[in-house]
Amino acid sequence: MEDLVQFLEAGPPPVYFGVGSMRTARMEALTRMAVEGILATGQRGILGVPPGSVEDLPQDRFKVVEGIPHSWLFPRMRLVIHHGGAGTTGAALRAGVPSVATPFTADQSFWARRVRALGVGPAPVPAHHLTSARIAAIVDDALPDAEMGRRAAALGRLIRGENGVATALEAIDRALA
Protein backbone atom coordinates (compact mmCIF):
# COMPACT_ATOMS: atom_id res chain seq x y z
CA MET A 1 0.00 0.00 0.00
CA GLU A 2 2.87 2.36 0.78
CA ASP A 3 4.23 2.06 -2.76
CA LEU A 4 0.75 2.88 -4.14
CA VAL A 5 0.53 6.01 -1.98
CA GLN A 6 4.00 7.05 -3.18
CA PHE A 7 2.95 6.48 -6.79
CA LEU A 8 -0.19 8.59 -6.32
CA GLU A 9 1.76 11.40 -4.66
CA ALA A 10 4.45 11.40 -7.37
CA GLY A 11 2.29 13.06 -10.00
CA PRO A 12 -1.16 14.15 -11.11
CA PRO A 13 -4.12 11.86 -10.44
CA PRO A 14 -4.03 8.86 -12.76
CA VAL A 15 -6.67 7.16 -14.90
CA TYR A 16 -8.03 3.92 -13.50
CA PHE A 17 -8.74 0.97 -15.80
CA GLY A 18 -10.25 -2.09 -14.19
CA VAL A 19 -12.28 -5.16 -15.01
CA GLY A 20 -13.57 -6.18 -11.58
CA SER A 21 -14.25 -9.90 -11.48
CA MET A 22 -14.66 -10.14 -15.26
CA ARG A 23 -12.40 -12.55 -17.07
CA THR A 24 -11.82 -13.06 -20.77
CA ALA A 25 -9.46 -15.08 -22.92
CA ARG A 26 -8.32 -11.67 -24.22
CA MET A 27 -7.31 -10.33 -20.77
CA GLU A 28 -3.65 -9.84 -21.64
CA ALA A 29 -4.52 -8.11 -24.93
CA LEU A 30 -7.21 -5.99 -23.24
CA THR A 31 -4.78 -4.88 -20.56
CA ARG A 32 -2.12 -4.07 -23.15
CA MET A 33 -4.70 -1.97 -25.06
CA ALA A 34 -5.50 -0.07 -21.87
CA VAL A 35 -1.82 0.62 -21.23
CA GLU A 36 -1.23 1.77 -24.82
CA GLY A 37 -4.37 3.92 -24.84
CA ILE A 38 -3.55 5.63 -21.54
CA LEU A 39 0.09 6.13 -22.58
CA ALA A 40 -1.05 7.72 -25.85
CA THR A 41 -2.84 10.43 -23.85
CA GLY A 42 0.18 11.22 -21.68
CA GLN A 43 -1.61 10.11 -18.51
CA ARG A 44 -0.52 7.83 -15.70
CA GLY A 45 -2.59 4.74 -14.95
CA ILE A 46 -3.78 2.43 -12.22
CA LEU A 47 -4.71 -1.03 -13.49
CA GLY A 48 -7.24 -3.14 -11.61
CA VAL A 49 -6.61 -6.31 -13.59
CA PRO A 50 -5.76 -9.91 -12.67
CA PRO A 51 -2.14 -10.53 -11.69
CA GLY A 52 -0.02 -11.48 -14.67
CA SER A 53 -2.27 -9.68 -17.17
CA VAL A 54 0.56 -7.40 -18.22
CA GLU A 55 4.33 -7.45 -18.02
CA ASP A 56 7.01 -4.80 -18.45
CA LEU A 57 5.01 -1.75 -17.41
CA PRO A 58 6.73 1.61 -17.22
CA GLN A 59 6.85 1.79 -13.40
CA ASP A 60 6.77 5.59 -13.34
CA ARG A 61 3.52 5.61 -15.35
CA PHE A 62 1.54 2.56 -14.16
CA LYS A 63 0.69 0.62 -11.06
CA VAL A 64 -1.23 -2.66 -10.91
CA VAL A 65 -3.49 -2.94 -7.85
CA GLU A 66 -5.47 -5.74 -6.33
CA GLY A 67 -7.80 -5.65 -3.36
CA ILE A 68 -7.67 -1.87 -2.86
CA PRO A 69 -11.09 -0.57 -1.76
CA HIS A 70 -12.72 1.50 -4.50
CA SER A 71 -13.96 3.90 -1.81
CA TRP A 72 -10.35 4.81 -1.06
CA LEU A 73 -8.91 4.57 -4.58
CA PHE A 74 -11.50 6.15 -6.90
CA PRO A 75 -11.57 9.64 -5.31
CA ARG A 76 -7.83 9.82 -6.10
CA MET A 77 -8.38 9.22 -9.85
CA ARG A 78 -8.95 11.66 -12.73
CA LEU A 79 -11.15 9.17 -14.58
CA VAL A 80 -12.43 5.68 -13.78
CA ILE A 81 -12.80 3.25 -16.69
CA HIS A 82 -14.48 0.10 -15.38
CA HIS A 83 -16.52 -2.95 -16.34
CA GLY A 84 -19.85 -1.51 -15.21
CA GLY A 85 -20.81 -3.78 -12.36
CA ALA A 86 -23.38 -2.23 -10.02
CA GLY A 87 -20.97 -1.97 -7.07
CA THR A 88 -18.11 -0.54 -9.09
CA THR A 89 -20.43 1.91 -10.84
CA GLY A 90 -21.80 3.02 -7.47
CA ALA A 91 -18.28 3.48 -6.10
CA ALA A 92 -17.26 5.51 -9.14
CA LEU A 93 -20.33 7.76 -8.88
CA ARG A 94 -19.79 8.18 -5.13
CA ALA A 95 -16.15 9.19 -5.74
CA GLY A 96 -17.31 12.21 -7.71
CA VAL A 97 -14.96 11.77 -10.67
CA PRO A 98 -15.94 11.13 -14.31
CA SER A 99 -16.27 7.46 -15.18
CA VAL A 100 -17.22 5.24 -18.08
CA ALA A 101 -18.31 1.63 -18.11
CA THR A 102 -17.03 -0.76 -20.75
CA PRO A 103 -19.61 -3.51 -20.25
CA PHE A 104 -18.86 -7.19 -20.63
CA THR A 105 -22.26 -8.77 -19.83
CA ALA A 106 -25.56 -8.75 -17.91
CA ASP A 107 -26.65 -5.49 -16.25
CA GLN A 108 -23.37 -3.73 -17.04
CA SER A 109 -24.81 -2.21 -20.23
CA PHE A 110 -27.61 -0.63 -18.19
CA TRP A 111 -25.11 0.98 -15.81
CA ALA A 112 -22.95 2.13 -18.73
CA ARG A 113 -25.94 3.89 -20.31
CA ARG A 114 -26.97 5.34 -16.94
CA VAL A 115 -23.54 6.92 -16.31
CA ARG A 116 -23.70 8.53 -19.74
CA ALA A 117 -27.31 9.71 -19.24
CA LEU A 118 -26.32 11.36 -15.95
CA GLY A 119 -23.68 13.32 -17.89
CA VAL A 120 -20.85 12.12 -15.65
CA GLY A 121 -18.99 10.08 -18.25
CA PRO A 122 -18.34 9.79 -21.98
CA ALA A 123 -20.17 7.36 -24.23
CA PRO A 124 -19.59 3.74 -23.21
CA VAL A 125 -17.75 1.26 -25.40
CA PRO A 126 -18.50 -2.45 -24.92
CA ALA A 127 -15.43 -4.39 -23.75
CA HIS A 128 -15.32 -6.49 -26.92
CA HIS A 129 -15.05 -3.29 -29.01
CA LEU A 130 -12.20 -1.75 -27.02
CA THR A 131 -8.96 -0.88 -28.77
CA SER A 132 -6.06 1.25 -27.61
CA ALA A 133 -7.36 4.07 -29.84
CA ARG A 134 -10.85 3.84 -28.31
CA ILE A 135 -9.42 3.90 -24.80
CA ALA A 136 -7.36 6.96 -25.71
CA ALA A 137 -10.50 8.58 -27.15
CA ILE A 138 -12.41 7.90 -23.92
CA VAL A 139 -9.66 9.61 -21.93
CA ASP A 140 -9.35 12.47 -24.40
CA ASP A 141 -13.14 13.02 -24.36
CA ALA A 142 -13.52 12.97 -20.59
CA LEU A 143 -10.53 14.81 -19.15
CA PRO A 144 -10.93 18.20 -20.82
CA ASP A 145 -14.71 18.23 -20.24
CA ALA A 146 -14.90 20.55 -17.22
CA GLU A 147 -18.70 20.41 -17.14
CA MET A 148 -18.64 16.62 -16.95
CA GLY A 149 -16.19 16.91 -14.06
CA ARG A 150 -18.47 19.39 -12.26
CA ARG A 151 -21.51 17.14 -12.72
CA ALA A 152 -19.57 14.12 -11.45
CA ALA A 153 -18.35 16.05 -8.39
CA ALA A 154 -21.88 17.32 -7.63
CA LEU A 155 -23.41 13.86 -7.97
CA GLY A 156 -20.68 12.40 -5.76
CA ARG A 157 -21.45 14.97 -3.04
CA LEU A 158 -25.17 14.09 -3.22
CA ILE A 159 -24.50 10.37 -2.96
CA ARG A 160 -22.02 10.78 -0.10
CA GLY A 161 -24.62 12.89 1.72
CA GLU A 162 -27.21 10.10 1.64
CA ASN A 163 -27.77 7.71 4.50
CA GLY A 164 -29.17 4.76 2.61
CA VAL A 165 -29.56 2.48 5.61
CA ALA A 166 -31.54 5.09 7.58
CA THR A 167 -33.69 5.86 4.52
CA ALA A 168 -34.41 2.16 3.97
CA LEU A 169 -35.34 1.65 7.64
CA GLU A 170 -37.71 4.62 7.51
CA ALA A 171 -39.38 3.21 4.40
CA ILE A 172 -39.77 -0.20 6.05
CA ASP A 173 -41.21 1.38 9.21
CA ARG A 174 -43.72 3.36 7.10
CA ALA A 175 -44.72 0.25 5.17
CA LEU A 176 -45.25 -1.75 8.34
CA ALA A 177 -47.23 0.99 10.11
Output the CA–CA distances (angstroms, integers) from residue 66 to 23, 69, 102, 105, 108, in the order listed: 14, 9, 19, 22, 21
pLDDT in tens, 104-127: 888 999 999 999 999 999 999 998
Output the CA–CA distances (angstroms, integers) from residue 166 to 44, 99, 120, 161, 163, in the order listed: 39, 28, 27, 12, 6
What pLDDT is attached to residue 23? 65
How far is the first Cα of the chain from the last one, in angstroms, to the nearest whole number?
A: 48
DSSP string computed for 103-147 = --STTHHHHHHHHHHTTSS-----GGG--HHHHHHHHHHHTT-HH
Four-point Cα dihedral 21, 47, 29, 141, nearest 10: 110
What pLDDT is attached to residue 29? 86
What pLDDT is attached to residue 110? 95
Provide the H-helix boundaries in 41-123: 70-73, 86-95, 108-117
Do 142 and 98 form a contact (C-beta atoms < 8 A)? yes
Output the CA–CA distances (angstroms, integers) from residue 52 to 4, 48, 80, 83, 102, in the order listed: 18, 11, 21, 19, 21
Sorted by where each starts, the structural domains of the chain and their CATH numbers stand as 2-176 (3.40.50.2000)
Q: Kindly indicate the confidence band of residue 24, based on its pLDDT and cuts at 50, 70 and 90.
A: low
**pLDDT more than 70, % of the chain:** 97
Whole-structure pTM value: 0.91
Residue 6 has pLDDT above 80, yes or no: yes
pLDDT in tens, 72-82: 999 999 999 99
pLDDT in tens, 25-37: 677 888 999 999 9
Do 85 and 64 form a contact (C-beta atoms < 8 A)? no
User: What φ, ψ does residue 72 adopt, rounded to 5°?
Assistant: -90, -40
Do 44 and 12 form a contact (C-beta atoms < 8 A)? yes
Residue 56 has pLDDT above 90, yes or no: no
What pLDDT is attached to residue 42? 97
At position 83, the amino acid (one-letter code) is H
Residue 64 has pLDDT above 80, yes or no: yes
Q: Kindly indicate the confidence band of residue 59, based on its pLDDT and cuts at 50, 70 and 90.
A: confident
| Residues in Cβ contact with 69 at an 8 Å cutoff, skipping those fewer than 6 apart | none
